[in-house]
Chains A and B, each alone.
Chain A
Amino acid sequence: DVKVTQSSRYLVKRTGEKVFLECVQDMDHENMFWYRQDPGLGLRLIYFSYDVKMKEKGDIPEGYSVSREKKERFSLILESASTNQTSMYLCASSFRPPEQYFGPGTRLTVT
């Protein structure tokens, strides 16, 4: 069974804080993704990575950065958290189409 784990299920941070969300997969997948899910907007891609140290912007990269130093780990960084970044963050990994395997999500609240 593919396992994608995320470091926290719930997180509360203050405006302006630097926030790190960690994601780890155990299936040696090349591709990893960060999404945010908001009501009425579905899942929107923030960044993805197709190899170690490689990254590409998704549809909504502003205010975020990512790091992939090891194949199994993909980190999402909020450089200076803002209230409009309050959301559910979902990490996924994939080897090839069609499936992406998702983690359980991190519900981030920025106050």
Chain B
Amino acid sequence: DQQVKQNSPSLSVQEGRISILNCDYTNSMFDYFLWYKKYPAEGPTFLISISSIKDKNEDGRFTVFLNKSAKHLSLHIVPSQPGDSAVYFCAASAPSGTYKYIFGTGTRLKVLA
């Protein structure tokens, strides 16, 4: 049973426009959410995170929104750049309290120049 879901396997956006990547989760006990970016042949790199006590966190061009009632989070990238083309994974911290994370299946973002 997939506790963290990214229902869009891919997304294409024009350079300069907004990219919105979505993630849904099923366990209301998750208390931390993260987004990672992964280029081919490289390991994922941490992008941005949000605690369950917040509904928004911003870092430069990246903003993560959390809607706890809908069990939904989204990553907004504004403006999108060709270098943002990568696979994006969302992850949620397992409620056991250890530093375990459950990852979604990823969304491949392609930013078109």
Contacts and interface: CB of A to CB of B under 8 A. Distances in A.
Contacts, number: 63
Given A40-B105, A43-B89, A97-B32, A102 B44 contact: yes
Contacts of A75: none
A4 B8 CA distance: 30
A102 B87 CA distance: 15
- Which of B100, B102, B106 has the most chain A CB within a 10 Å cutoff? B100
Contact of B46 (A31, A50, A100, A104): A100
B46 A41 contact: no
Contact of B41 (A45, A101, A104): A104
Interface of B: 4, 6, 9, 32, 34, 36, 41-46, 49, 89, 91, 93, 98-106
